[in-house]
Chains A and B, each alone.
Chain A
């Protein structure tokens, strides 16, 4: 969604309210499938002392079936709106290639209502988990919107810097090459790492949550700010309530009215877009020439923005686990990294630690 917003700004396209609502619904679907996967299949097994979702399924197949059903609700909604359940193809600059069928959206409401009930249970489940004792004084960065819990659009805000105008984003947050990585790392202009993702969103935008999500969090005894990265799972569960509740409202009110795509005239221009992908803030900037060709592109994804913070976390976390047997220490660090839900989080064992004593 950041890419189309950036290109629409570059081309001077203004989308209709109906298109914006459908894009929010599409993002709700992304959140449902992504958060269900991470809560129950990726980080959940870690906190329940299982090697993976496979071993969790042996002990608690009902939980895993419930997680798969939850994930499927998101995937089905994605398929109906986006044309397919992974990497949707119906979205385009200006809107959508075609409106999804009204009956197909409405048909998913009963499953979304089940998902909302299940998400409330997920918050209770997340609140009862035993999390490693660890906190970090993060700079949280997310987008915020005056009227809603921001996922699709909004302005960038930081817990330390306040509002960051979008055209200053690349000045406030700088991507650099580091010797030990083939991915760019991001730092704030003062050289310090920062955190994007569910913890940042929930901490910065808690008051914008819908009443149901806020109530679930309050009943679970959530105290803000949450500074324990392992509790990203709890933040995801709260967001799951939020997006299921939002999705039901958007599905009920879905009205395919007018053109599904705003006509555009190709022109030279530059545009920026920012949205909250499930893993965190996603920034795009493009420069388009007079033929409509993209001649410059900058994509700053959430996982890359979090790399420097992950490393800072590990530097602080590792001394506390060094006394453990090597494999246990390695596993504890893997759990920390997996709590961020980086792209590699599906891998059970992805980290090697060498201790120089």
Chain B
């Protein structure tokens, strides 16, 4: 029976702000090391998983995806999203190498509905233009700690409390 939690940081570390999902999860691991060492909380950092995302989801009951999103709002805006909300955002990666998160999730629901997690939440971090390089912009880097605290709230089951 699946009872574990999975935190998935997604992004491309060589495309600056697109790597913010990876950085937020790493920061959560540092700030909340007690929880990050819990054997029932799995952590994965993925760059462009494409359809490979489905391989990670099928083992878990509760999943949090942490990823950059492009909404047109100020970079650094934090979003608590559900799967259905993804349609309102453009893919932030600027990449055409693979399936996006929304497409992969929709595909999984269609092909493997019984293997998909019981609950799936998304922490989106708004970013601006994606450019090549390492490191985050000042605006996006400034919200890493707050985003990591939201990850912790999700772990504590307090995700819906504002």
Residues on A facing B (Cβ under 8 Å): 33, 37, 41, 53-54, 57-58, 61, 64-65, 68, 71-72, 75-76, 84-87, 343-344, 346-347, 350
Least distance between A21 CB and chain B CB atoms (Å): 25
Per-residue CB contact flags for chain B residues 96-133 toward chain A (1 = under 8 Å, else 0) read 11110001001100111000000000000000000000
- Assess the B51–A58 pair: CB atoms within 8 A: no
B110 partner, pick from A57, A76, A344, beta carbons under 8 A: A57
Q: Are B55 and A53 in contact (CB under 8 A)?
A: no
Question: Across chains A and B, which 7 residue pairs bring their CB atoms closest together, nearest first?
Answer: A344-B96, A57-B111, A87-B47, A75-B52, A57-B110, A64-B111, A72-B55
Interface SS of A by simple majority: helix
Counting residue pairs across A and B whose Cβ atoms lie within 8 Å, the total is: 50
> B21 to nearest A CB, angstroms?
14
CB contacts (< 8 Å) of B41 on chain A: these are: none
Kindly list chain A residues whose C-beta atoms are within 8 Å of the C-beta of B98.
346
Residue picked from A87, A344, A350, most chain B C-beta under 10 Å: A87
| B111 lies within 8 A of A86 (CB) | no
- From B49, B110, B112, A86 is in contact (CB under 8 Å) with B49
Given A68-B51, A72-B55, A346-B96: A84 and B112 within 8 A (CB)? no
CB pair A68–B46 under 8 Å, yes or no, is no
Residue of B nearest to A342 (CB): B96
Is A86 a contact of B54 with CB atoms below 8 Å?
A: no
Q: Are A86 and B96 in contact (CB under 8 A)?
A: no
A86:B55 contact, CB within 8 angstroms: no
B 45-64 binary contact with A (CB < 8 Å = 1; else 0): 01111111011000000000
Within 8 A of A (CB), among B52-98: 52, 54-55, 96-98
Do B48 and A347 have beta carbons less than 8 Å apart? no
Supposing A58-B110, A343-B97, A347-B96 touch, asked if A84 and B55 sit within 8 A by C-beta, the answer is no
Closest-by-CB residue of A relative to B13 is A87
Decide: A53 and B107 in contact? CB cutoff 8 A: yes
The answer on a CB contact under 8 Å between A37 and B51 is: yes
Which residue of chain A has its CB nearest to the CB of B106?
A54
* A85 and B52 in contact, given A343-B96, A344-B96, A346-B98 (Cβ under 8 angstroms): yes
A72 contacts across to B, CB distance below 8 A: 52, 55
In the complex, 24 of the A-B residue pairs with CB atoms within 8 angstroms, ordered by the A residue number, are A33-B52, A37-B51, A54-B106, A54-B107, A54-B110, A57-B110, A57-B111, A61-B110, A68-B51, A71-B52, A72-B55, A85-B52, A85-B55, A86-B46, A86-B47, A86-B48, A86-B50, A86-B52, A87-B47, A87-B48, A343-B96, A346-B97, A347-B96, A350-B96
Kindly list chain A residues whose C-beta atoms are within 8 Å of the C-beta of B46: 84, 86
B51–chain A nearest beta-carbon distance, Å: 7
Seed contacts A65-B111, A346-B97; 8 additional CB < 8 Å A-B pairs: A68-B51, A68-B54, A68-B111, A72-B52, A343-B97, A344-B96, A346-B50, A350-B96
Q: How far is the CA of A58 from the CA of B110 in the complex (A)?
A: 8
Residue of B nearest to A79 (CB): B55
Residues in chain A near residue B51, CB distance under 8 A? 37, 41, 68, 71
Q: Which residue of chain A has its CB nearest to the CB of B58?
A: A72
Separation of A64 and B111 alpha carbons in the complex (Å): 7
Expressed in whole angstroms, the Cα–Cα distance for A346 and B54 within the complex equals 17
Which of B49, B55, B112 is within 8 Å of A65, CB to CB? B112
